[in-house]
Amino acid sequence: MKLNVFFTPISIDELYFTHKTTVVIDVLRASSTIVAALKNGAKEVVPVATVEFAMKVSGGMFGGQTLLCGERNTKKIEGFALGNSPLEFTEKVVKGKSIILYTTNGTRAIVKAKFSENLFVCSLENLSAVAHHLVRLNEDVEILCSGKSNTFSLEDSICAGKLSTEIMKTKEDVELSDAARASVSLSKSFGKNILKMLQETEHGKILIGNGFNDDLKYCSKLDITNIIPYFSGNALKILPNNLEGESNKNKTE
Amino acid sequence: MKLNVFFTPISIDELYFTHKTTVVIDVLRASSTIVAALKNGAKEVVPVATVEFAMKVSGGMFGGQTLLCGERNTKKIEGFALGNSPLEFTEKVVKGKSIILYTTNGTRAIVKAKFSENLFVCSLENLSAVAHHLVRLNEDVEILCSGKSNTFSLEDSICAGKLSTEIMKTKEDVELSDAARASVSLSKSFGKNILKMLQETEHGKILIGNGFNDDLKYCSKLDITNIIPYFSGNALKILPNNLEGESNKNKTE
């Protein structure tokens, strides 16, 4: 099995992902928000690459069943129902709803990888579940870090490194690209105190400055769920073959 | 002083570099080739971003005084005088000549950063000289890794980390971006045995496969020269204010 990491989606063309197995990571905060929404009973999360497309998609759906959500520069977009804080996506708010989600980095990365054969979303909270599923799949994996405005983000690369490390715990013949080797190394150097690491990243500091310190605490939790968001038919749903995922899926449909 | 690193030139627009102090790194091999050419008496190195432009520039100059050099996929371009191996750029071959250089990653990165207020080229062999000059300048620094076809390259990031570390030895109030912190960490993890590290990178393996193992040995040497290539008027020359640079400059003009 080969593991490769891209530190930013701009490095690569969307056609590259055709026939690939891809994992998109956006630790702060889209990955966690998507997992939170699905965990709390959202029917699906539709990731979109532009605000305009978010409004267009939302406009074609029936009111009440759809929530238009997203952020620009960490803050909720005016007129949208929710921002991009996982804490907003409670069961009361999202249960049974289709979530249309636009975020500066994460949802754009997912849309870029849309031609993948298998496309999953990973955050720290479902990291081991994703790793174990990838081991079962036994395909080469492209880990796509959402990054920060087309540049490197430390927290995503560390999550990529932790994911790679978790895969290598149960899989022996893993071949790492340069970027994957770097991620593993960075996860060892910076990954011991995750909350502290998040608070010291560029993105973490901006979020704290905008009052989202509780989001950092939420996003720092490791392996608290088995839910794996899976992209199919332009929407993310809970991967049905995953154990906890299956039970949640039944709950929401 | 702020230090920032870009792992690939595609992350950033060329106008970003206006008024900036920038260091371009391409360990394998453009940085070393440029240093070698200037060290051995080349009048200047003109970095170009396309093969077509290389031929156009070369055509407008007088034969004999100009050498058209460069590589595609590590190999010399057909019809060009030299490839991109620093070992080819001997005094006998390059003395007094204008070198027109096209390489897949390095010269394109230099051209991208052409609007910089100060633009230097760094490799392992002149790393401390560049670091000391940057400390003297005392400006914020953008370190631009040439990368590999728009993606991450381990050797460039490690060189960026070593450069940052060297700066921090004599400068106290250095502020590192996420990518700069990552580079420093990677240089600590992978930078002990440089030749081994180069041989184990993706690019290093390709070069070895194409018979360039001696280039890796050459490019692995740390701090063997004080020459700093400086971009001015569309060409790289030896930075005049640098001590060893000055003596070499006088020698070549």
Instruction: Please say whether the beta carbons of B80 and B68 come within 8 A.
Output: yes
Alpha-carbon distance of A58 to A53, in angstroms, equals 8
Length of chain A counted residue by residue: 253
Asked whether residue B204 is assigned to any structural domain, the reply reads: yes
The interface predicted TM-score of the complex, written ipTM, equals: 0.91
For residues A199 and A28, what is the distance between their CA atoms, to the nearest angstrom? 11
CA distance B35 to B89: 10
Of B5, B10, B152, the CB nearest to A10: B10
- Residue B248 belongs to a domain: no
Q: Kindly report the CATH number assigned to the domain that includes residue B120.
A: 3.90.1560.10
Nearest to A10 among B5, B11, B153 (CB): B11
Q: Over chain A (253 residues), what is each successive 10-residue block's mean pLDDT?
A: 98 96 97 96 96 83 80 91 95 96 96 98 97 97 96 98 97 96 98 96 96 97 96 94 45 37
B181 upstream amide cis, omega within 30 of 0: no
Bridge partners (DSSP) of residue B67 are B99
Domain that holds residue B190: 2-237
CA angle A100–A112–A31, rounded 5-degree value? 55
- Which residue of A178, A202, A203, A207 to mutate against B (max B Cβ within 10 Å)? A178
For the segment B57-75, what is each residue's pLDDT rounded down to a tens digit?
A: 877 665 668 999 999 989 9
Q: How far is CA B249 from CA A72, A159, B44, in A?
A: 51, 48, 10
Residue pLDDT, tens place only, B3-58? 999 999 999 999 999 999 999 999 999 999 999 999 999 999 999 999 988 888 87
If you average pLDDT over residues B81-86, what whole number do you get?
94
Q: How confident is the model at residue A247, as a pLDDT? A: 40
- Answer whether residue B111 is part of any domain: yes
Distance CA B129, CA A192 (A): 35
Binary contact (B186, A190; C-beta < 8 A): no
- Nearest-angstrom CA–CA distance, A238 and B245: 62
Per-residue exposure over B229-239, b if at least 16 CB sit within 10 Å of its own CB, e if not: bbbeeebbbbb
Interface contact A152-B178, CB threshold 8 A: yes
**Is this prediction's pTM over 0.95?**
no
List the structure tokens of A95.
């249960």
Report residue A184 as tokens.
Answer: 């593993």
Quote the minimal CA–CA distance from B185 to chain A in Å: 7
pLDDT confidence of B191, banded at 50, 70, 90? confident
Work out the percent of chain B whose per-residue pLDDT is above 90. Answer: 87
Q: What percent of chain B has pLDDT over 70?
A: 93
Instruction: Give the Cα separation of B12 and B61 in Å (integer).
Output: 32
B126's tokens = 């002149």
Q: How far is B152 from chain A (nearest CA, A)?
A: 6
According to DSSP, the residues that pair with A174 across neighbouring strands are none
Q: Which residues contact B64 (CB under 8 A, 6 or more apart)?
A: none
Contacts with A186 from chain B: Cβ below 8 Å: 182, 185-186
Element (H, E) at B8: none
Query: What percent helix, strand, coil does chain B show, rounded to 5?
Result: 45, 20, 35
Is B246 a domain residue?
no
- B75 three-state secondary structure: strand
If interface means Cβ-Cβ distance under 8 Å, which residues of chain A face chain B? 5-8, 10-12, 148, 150-154, 157, 177-179, 181-182, 185-186, 188-190, 201-203
Would you say residue B135 has pLDDT above 90?
Answer: yes
Tally Cβ neighbours within 10 Å of residue A56: 12
**pLDDT on residue A60:** 64
The total domain count for chain A is 1
> Would you state the pLDDT for residue A250?
39
Amino acid identity of B125?
E
Angstrom CA distances, A234 to A23, A33, A122, A158, B8, stand at 16, 17, 17, 28, 30
In a domain, B103, yes or no: yes
* Separation of first and last alpha carbons in chain A: 35
Candidates B11, B154, B179; nearest CB to A178: B154
CB B207 within 8 A of CB B218: no
Burial B100-136 (b: 16+ CB within 10 A, else e): bbbbbbbbbbbbbbeebebbbbbbbbbbbbbbbbbbe
**With an 8 Å Cβ cutoff, are A182 and B186 in contact?**
yes
Tell me which residues of chain B have a C-beta less than 8 Å from any C-beta of chain A: 5-8, 10-12, 148, 150-154, 157, 177-179, 181-182, 185-186, 188-190, 201-203
Nearest to B159 by CA among B27, B3, B35, B31: B27
Choose the closest CB to B185 out of A8, A152, A186.
A186
Amino acid identity, position B44: E
Q: Contacts for B244-252 with beta carbons within 8 Å, 24 or more apart? A: B244/B129, B245/B129, B248/B38, B248/B39, B248/B41, B251/B41, B252/B38, B252/B41, B252/B42, B252/B43, B252/B95, B252/B96
In Å, how far are A32, A47, A189, B148, B237 from A24, measured between CA atoms? 11, 12, 22, 21, 44
- Predicted local distance difference test score (pLDDT) of residue A199: 98
